């Protein structure tokens, strides 16, 4: 009834395309950020809420396209030394910072190689405390290198030296942490640079009333052009609101007061999309639904460190039990009824669909309850008889998935008890190896499968690293190290597949599904596109009046 009344209300109050343009006839792209924006400083672009606006305001040496290929940006070309440790970038000479009164004449000055030296050195500065400092942990900072891993050859030539080769390094440089910023502006504002951002991006900040509205205006001097030679961006402005409730946000989208909706919230999921994951037919004339694989694997994981007493006493130390859990529930049914098929069942490896290195020929675990029962019997627990109850820890956001798995596994004799914790408590327990069996999500920071496989490298044991399962395998470690010294992508991807197969064979994790990026736009919006990193790129977006 509530949705019916909502629909009737929408029918009478839908605004026209004319009302959705700016007051001066300019094209304004509007979206809502329900979680608020804590900072516009790229050094703190840790989460999507900050990454999206920062991506409109700043540029880096390189950028990622929608197919996850590294492309030129301020660096028009680059070269990598034969040993894979020295990266040399040749910069464009027509890139300027946004206008600011602190620049001579109030006009934006040219971005130079020395600005990149300052910007990248800044995110490693402990006084700045950037969460992106880890990106440059591999810099060659030995005593003979007085530039701490960076070398400014001249105004348009910039060099980065690494201690050891890392084939994914270019991908790291596409992250917003690595955006170029002007030293004199940052020095002037200090911590307040967060609300006075000056970059080189397609838009500049015009107005920010925190928790109310953020307005970005077109940078008329932006350096990038389209294939026909037209200067980007096409839009005149971007306006961001901060409605923190998802239902009013949905109403604003339906009414046409915002142009873009990201993701599908439970409060309106069944109104907007069908069980098969398609746009509700009644909205097809008004909205466009855009989907793409999302570099996020949702999974369950086991703690495998047998040096810990808690693991010695748990049945999950037995590989057959872990495999039985993997075989014991229907992922396809789970996706249909709990996620409206917005995602792909995790029946292959840990590397998600959409990531270079994903292999749809890698056999993971399909639903096979008979196989699960056989494994239980071989482990000494026929039909689950004598098998202790296993605790699965999660947060409330994923309780429905865990309850579904709990019910499915009970049918083959595996008893699961669910423990629900708050996000902060849960993360602390995972990071400090306090959970035997837990739900996890791994969203890629950069578009290389190493980002996923590093979770199982023995030198990355938590809390110092991301190996939360404490999985250790000498052969796996050798493959990982071999891959890190391999610059040929096709060879490296084959190594990645071998490593992923190890993880599946050892049943270290239980892949649930590979996520999906879902976007909805009004029909008058063109060129938004989609990508597996879920990066919002507005410089090629057009909006009709």
Per the listing, tokens 């694997």 go with: 297
pLDDT tens digits, 373-388: 999 999 999 999 999 9
Distance CA(366)–CA(273), nearest Å, equals 26
Report the chain's C-alpha Rg in angstroms.
25
pTM of the model: 0.89
Per the listing, tokens 């602390």 go with: 428
Decide if 176 contacts 42 (C-beta within 8 A). Answer: yes
Which two structure tokens, joined as six digits, stand for 543? 């909006």
Residue 340 φ/ψ region, left for φ over 0, alpha for ψ in the -120 to 50 degree band, beta for the rest: left
Which two structure tokens, joined as six digits, stand for 470? 């404490």
Q: Are strands 509-522 and 416-420 parallel, antiparallel or unpaired?
A: unpaired
Decide if 243 contacts 34 (C-beta within 8 A). Answer: yes
Pick the closest to residue 31 from 245, 194, 204, 256 (CA basis).
256
Mean pLDDT across 93-114 = 97
Name the residue with higher pLDDT: 199 or 11.
199
pLDDT tens digits, 332-344: 999 999 999 999 9
Ramachandran angles phi, psi of 512, nearest 5°: -95, -55
**Does 280 score more than 60 pLDDT?**
yes
Span of 134-143, 279-288, 478-487, 514-523 with lowest mean pLDDT: 134-143
Ramachandran angles phi, psi of 208, nearest 5°: -140, 105
What are the structural domains, with CATH classification, of the chain? Answer: 22-242+524-543 (3.40.190.10), 294-517 (3.10.105.10)
Dihedral sign for Cα 183, 148, 455, 166, please.
positive
In this prediction, residue 423 carries a pLDDT of 85
Q: Which of 10-14, 221-225, 245-249 has the highest mean pLDDT?
A: 221-225
In this prediction, residue 22 carries a pLDDT of 52
Q: How buried is 438 (Cβ within 10 angstroms: 0-12 exposed, 13-18 middle, 19+ buried)?
A: buried
Percent of the chain with pLDDT over 90: 89
**Does 5 score more than 60 pLDDT?**
no
Per the listing, tokens 């969460």 go with: 131
In this prediction, residue 18 carries a pLDDT of 38
pLDDT tens digits, 207-216: 999 999 999 9
Mean pLDDT across 274-303 = 95
In this prediction, residue 487 carries a pLDDT of 87
**Does 225 score more than 60 pLDDT?**
yes
Q: How buried is 389 (Cβ within 10 angstroms: 0-12 exposed, 13-18 middle, 19+ buried)?
A: exposed
Mean pLDDT across 351-376 = 95
**Does 64 score more than 70 pLDDT?**
yes
Mean pLDDT across 116-139 = 95
Decide if 500 contacts 349 (C-beta within 8 A). Answer: yes
Distance CA(308)–CA(395), nearest Å, equals 24
**Does 432 score more than 60 pLDDT?**
yes
Pick the closest to residue 116 from 85, 87, 141, 137 (CA basis).
87
Which two structure tokens, joined as six digits, stand for 464? 């110092």
Mean pLDDT across 499-513 = 97
Helix (H, G, I), strand (E, B) or coil at 166: coil
**Does 144 score more than 70 pLDDT?**
no
Band (275; pLDDT cuts 50, 70, 90)? confident
- First and final C-alpha spacing in the chain: 34
With a CB cutoff of 8 Å and minimum separation 6, the contacts of 334 are 345, 401, 404, 405, 512, 513
Mean pLDDT across 124-134 = 94
Number of other residues whose CB lies within 10 A of the CB of residue 539: 19
Which residues, in sequence order, are bridge partners of residue 150?
A: 160
pLDDT tens digits, 6-36: 543 444 344 334 334 555 678 999 999 999 9
Q: How buried is 84 (Cβ within 10 angstroms: 0-12 exposed, 13-18 middle, 19+ buried)?
A: middle
Mean pLDDT across 30-59 = 96
Distance CA(397)–CA(423), nearest Å, equals 9
In this prediction, residue 142 carries a pLDDT of 67
Distances (CA, A) of 62 to 168, 316, 513: 13, 44, 31
Which two structure tokens, joined as six digits, stand for 353? 């669909």
In this prediction, residue 4 carries a pLDDT of 41
Q: Are strands 213-218 and 416-420 parallel, antiparallel or unpaired?
A: unpaired
Span of 12-26, 126-140, 159-173 with lowest mean pLDDT: 12-26
In this prediction, residue 147 carries a pLDDT of 57
Decide if 528 contacts 1 (C-beta within 8 A). Answer: no
Distance CA(145)–CA(414), nearest Å, equals 58
Which residues, in sequence order, are bridge partners of residue 225?
A: 231
Distances (CA, A) of 369 to 96, 328, 345: 62, 5, 17
pLDDT tens digits, 526-541: 999 999 999 999 999 9
């Amino acid at each position: 009834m509530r949705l019916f009344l909502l629909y009737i209300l929408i029918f009478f109050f839908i605004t026209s395309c004319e009302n959705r343009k700016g007051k001066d006839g300019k094209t304004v792209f509007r979206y809502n950020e329900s979680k608020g924006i804590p900072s516009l400083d790229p050094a703190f672009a840790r989460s999507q809420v900050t990454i999206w606006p920062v991506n409109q305001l700043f540029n880096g040496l390189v950028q990622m396209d929608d197919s996850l290929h590294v492309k030129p940006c301020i660096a028009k070309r680059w070269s990598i030394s034969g040993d894979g440790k020295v990266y040399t970038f040749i910069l464009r000479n027509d890139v300027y910072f946004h206008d600011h009164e602190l620049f001579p004449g109030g006009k934006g000055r040219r971005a130079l190689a020395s600005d990149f030296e300052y910007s990248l050195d800044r995110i490693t500065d402990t006084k700045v405390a950037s969460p992106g400092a880890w990106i440059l942990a591999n810099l060659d900072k030995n005593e003979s290198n007085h530039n701490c891993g960076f070398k400014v050859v001249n105004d348009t030539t910039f060099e980065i030296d690494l201690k050891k080769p890392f084939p994914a390094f270019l991908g790291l440089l596409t992250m917003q942490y690595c955006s170029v910023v002007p030293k004199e502006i940052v020095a002037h504002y200090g911590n307040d640079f967060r609300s006075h951002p000056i970059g080189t991006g397609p838009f500049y900040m015009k107005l920010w009333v925190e928790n109310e509205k953020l307005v970005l205006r077109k940078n008329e001097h932006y350096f990038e052009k389209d294939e026909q030679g037209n200067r980007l961006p096409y839009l005149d402005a971007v306006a961001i609101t901060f409605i923190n409730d998802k239902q009013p946000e949905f109403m604003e989208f339906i009414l046409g007061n915002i142009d873009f909706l990201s993701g599908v919230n439970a409060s309106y999921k069944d109104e907007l999309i069908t069980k098969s994951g398609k746009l509700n037919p009644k909205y097809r004339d008004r909205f466009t639904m855009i989907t793409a694989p999302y570099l996020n694997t949702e999974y369950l994981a086991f703690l495998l460190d047998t040096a810990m007493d808690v693991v010695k006493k748990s049945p999950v130390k037995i590989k057959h039990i872990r495999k039985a859990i993997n075989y014991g529930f229907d992922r396809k049914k789970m996706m249909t009824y709990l996620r409206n098929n917005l995602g792909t069942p995790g029946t292959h490896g840990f590397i998600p669909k959409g990531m270079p290195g994903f292999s749809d020929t890698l056999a993971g675990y399909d639903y096979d309850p008979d196989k699960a029962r056989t494994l239980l019997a071989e482990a000494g627990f026929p039909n689950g008889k004598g098998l202790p109850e296993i605790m699965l820890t999660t947060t409330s956001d994923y309780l429905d998935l865990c309850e579904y798995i709990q019910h499915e596994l009970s049918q083959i004799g595996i008893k699961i008890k669910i423990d629900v914790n708050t996000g902060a408590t849960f993360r602390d327990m995972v990071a400090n190896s306090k959970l035997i069996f837990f739900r996890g999500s791994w969203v890629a920071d950069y578009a290389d499968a190493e980002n996923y496989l590093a979770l199982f490298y023995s030198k990355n044991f938590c809390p110092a690293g991301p190996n939360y399962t404490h999985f250790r395998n000498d052969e796996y470690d050798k493959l990982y190290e071999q891959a890190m010294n391999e610059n040929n992508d096709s060879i490296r991807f084959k190594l990645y597949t071998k490593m992923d197969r190890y993880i599946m064979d050892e049943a270290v994790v239980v892949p649930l599904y590979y996520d999906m990026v879902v976007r909805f736009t009004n029909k008058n919006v063109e060129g938004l596109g989609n990508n597996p990193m879920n990066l919002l790129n507005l410089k090629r977006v057009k909006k009709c009046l």
